[in-house]
Chain A
Amino acid sequence: MLINLALKSLRDRKGSIALSLMAMTVSIFILLGVEHIRHQTKESFSNTVSGVDLVVGARTGSLNLLLYSVFKIGNPTNNMSWQSFQTIADSPKVKWAVPMSLGDSHKGFRVLGTTDEYFKYFSYGQQQHLTFEQGVQFNQVFDVVLGSQVAKELGYKLGDQLVLSHGISRNSFSLHKDKPFTVVGILSPTGTPVDHSLHVSLQAIEAIHLNGNSDYLAQLKSTGSHTSSQSDDSDAERKEKQEALFAQLQPKTITAFMLGLESRMTTFQIQRQINNFAAEPLLAILPGVALAELWQMMSILENTLLLVSALVFVSACLGVSAMLLSSIRERTREIQLLRVIGASPMFLFLLIELEALFIAIVSIALGAGLLMLSLLVAQSYLVSSLGLYISLNVFSASSLYLLATIVIASLLVAMIPSIICYRQSASNQVSL
């Protein structure tokens, strides 16, 4: 009966309730959004580098290196030599090393030049390895493997041809038009920046930057192309020729590389060795440590955001209370009537609290719904431009904790009108 009465009385005051609901919804949207994105960002970032022991690149800031190499945010400052990579990769303590060469793009998606080791060793999330949804990894110069989101958004399927452009802008004018690539594989979704990358071999990166050397390219194409039929050479000869060409395409520099070690115990030792590398200035970072540095830097911003959204929420709560308080003034006669037919002051206290509770619950539903909707809309933008994979499910353990706090806070603030209602009805100042 209490619930029925509260619901019907709220419905009776649609106008003012709707406004209060909107204020609460917006505040919960902000609060929940900040909290959710904060957690998801961290999770998304740490998921991306779960299996990598060290990231190595030319000497720069550790955060900078981490962001451009793994998360594909920002631009590489400097390249490192292929020779140094070889030296370090050959060390007996290194289990695997995956080189990365960045700087090209395709319709706004970044292109990663790497080796087939990438598909074998790179892992994300809970140590999951990359898997192919369709096709296989690249084994020709002009083969490309697409991240799932790239294939989905641009509608590519196996066998399609595409052209890479120089630089990372979405509308680059400098296209590598004479060197089209063939899609040979599409990766399964990972929820990491991998989904938004195109993967080609290091040789391909070299090849597309060989400007003016068209003879060489023609040769390369005739051997490397899938559709080549004009070649009269025998298979074995062709293969040999191709290998020779591949060798010529051996990269001189790469952007960075990821290392997996035989034993994690040696991480710091290897890191120190790389940082003191004699041939050229290099930087090795532990992704986890660099991330922690990033969070530390962000924590002030994070807390400020959280504080601001909490204040917005408190003001929305106060708004609801003001609305309830003025409703009590309007409803003096109703309250008296309830008292006369036997309602205790406690009943009236609960009635007002319940109305506040309903407003909070409906606002939470609306706010969470709105947040999910916005995330749905913004998701692909966030992944492609910030490398952030934000899950649509806003109800994590920590957000449920936050929601419980929201409900309790709104009940506490609604104590003000409720107590006033209680005292007004208990004072028995009733004019019949």
Chain B
Amino acid sequence: MVITLNNVCFSYAEQADVPILNIPTWSLAAGEKTFVYGASGCGKSTLLGLLSGMLSGSTGEITVLGERIDKMSNRQRDKFRANNIGYVFQAFNLIPYLDAIDNIKLAHYFSKSTSKNALHQEIEALLTTLNMPEHDWQKPVRNLSIGQQQRIAIARALINKPKLLIVDEPTSSLDQENRDSFMTLLMSMVTAHNISLLFVSHDMSLAPYFDRVESLSEINHMVANTREKSQGKQSNVD
């Protein structure tokens, strides 16, 4: 299992009386490509925050790649995240004033992998596979199109050879054409590198790309009970 959740409950410290997550049990198998469907306000960001170790303070067990990240110190979690988990977000995946190569190098810098020699070839190979024209590699990424930025984000996420890739609404700022090419590229890269994929989106039309499709409202038992009650407050959580 890549991810195992057991009796996970979470609420933000500022609103201790409003539980956000309550997941009795959920898991993601190795090599699985899972689509989690979730509308905004159902604890999606909170779940991803917990899985990546950006959020702490939950009860229950969170095991990622065989390690109890809920038991780690902040420092350990930062290391663990850099070494094992790749991330692609909806937007702002890259430091806008760095070029594509520097952005990818930066991600590599924080991980434990030390192979500096092959790094450049690896980055070039990744960017080539992702159809990035070579003359755009040295431009600050803010000068590139959103589609290109999202592709560089995949390269950035994959440079440390993560075993788990978490992708959060990566296509919502892309048009139809770019979205399709992005999904095709993403799926082929994930398959080629044998990575487990957790893909979260509210766009059901992407579901056909995946082996397994789940709805977050079914995973998170809190939502059904408290949805109405906390809707107003959740808007500032997500």
| Interface residues in chain A, defined as those with a beta carbon under 8 Å from any beta carbon in chain B | 1, 4-5, 8-9, 11-12, 333-334, 337-345, 347, 426, 428, 430-432
Contact = CB atoms under 8 A, between A and B. Distances in A.
Contact of A8 (B56, B92, B98): B98
Contacts, number: 72
Interface in B14-62: 45, 48-49, 52, 54-56
Nearest to A9: B97
Q: Which of A8, A426, A432 has the most CB of B within 10 A?
A: A432
Given A8-B97, A8-B98, A341 B106 contact: yes
B110 A432 contact: no
Contacts of B109: 1
Nearest to B93: A337
A339 B87 contact: no
Contact of B54 (A333, A334, A339): A339
Contacts of B83: 342
A426 B74 contact: yes
A81 B188 CA distance: 107
A10 to B, nearest CB: 10
Contacts of A1: 105-106, 109
Interface size class on chain B is 35 or more
A148 B170 CA distance: 76
B75 interface: yes
A340 B54 CA distance: 7
Nearest to A10: B97
Nearest to B84: A342
Contacts of B105: 1
Chain A interface main SS type: helix
Given A334-B95, A341-B156, A343-B78, A428 B110 contact: no
A431 B55 CA distance: 10
Interface string B151-177: 000001000000000001000000000
B97 A12 contact: yes
A5 B45 contact: no
A347 B74 CA distance: 13
A432 B102 contact: no
B97 to A, nearest CB: 4
Contacts of B48: 432
7 contacts: A9-B95, A9-B97, A334-B96, A340-B54, A342-B79, A347-B110, A428-B74
B79 A337 contact: no
B93 A342 contact: no
B49 A432 contact: yes
Given A11-B97, A430-B55, A5 B89 contact: no
A113 B107 CA distance: 78
Given A340-B52, A341-B106, 5 more contacts: A1-B106, A8-B98, A9-B95, A338-B95, A342-B78
A74 B200 CA distance: 85
Contacts of B79: 342
A344 B98 contact: no
Contacts of A347: 110
Given A8-B97, A432-B54, A341 B49 contact: no
A333 B97 CA distance: 13
Contacts of A345: 74
A343 B74 CA distance: 11
A362 B100 CA distance: 28
Contact of A430 (B54, B98, B110): B54
Contact of A342 (B81, B98, B140): B81
Nearest to B56: A428
Given A8-B97, A432-B45, A432-B168, A340 B106 contact: no
B55 A344 contact: no
Given A430-B49, A430-B55, A341 B82 contact: yes
B238 interface: yes
Nearest to A430: B54
A337 B45 contact: no
B111 interface: yes
Contacts of A338: 95, 106
Contacts of B97: 8-9, 11-12
A286 B156 CA distance: 76
Contacts of A337: 92-95
A344 B75 contact: yes
Contacts of A431: 45, 237-238
Contacts of B75: 344
Contacts of A4: 102
A148 to B, nearest CB: 54
A343 to B, nearest CB: 6
Nearest to A341: B107
A9 B103 CA distance: 12
B101 to A, nearest CB: 11
Nearest to A344: B78
B82 A342 contact: yes
A428 B237 CA distance: 13
B110 A342 contact: yes
Contacts of B74: 345, 426, 428
Contacts of B237: 431
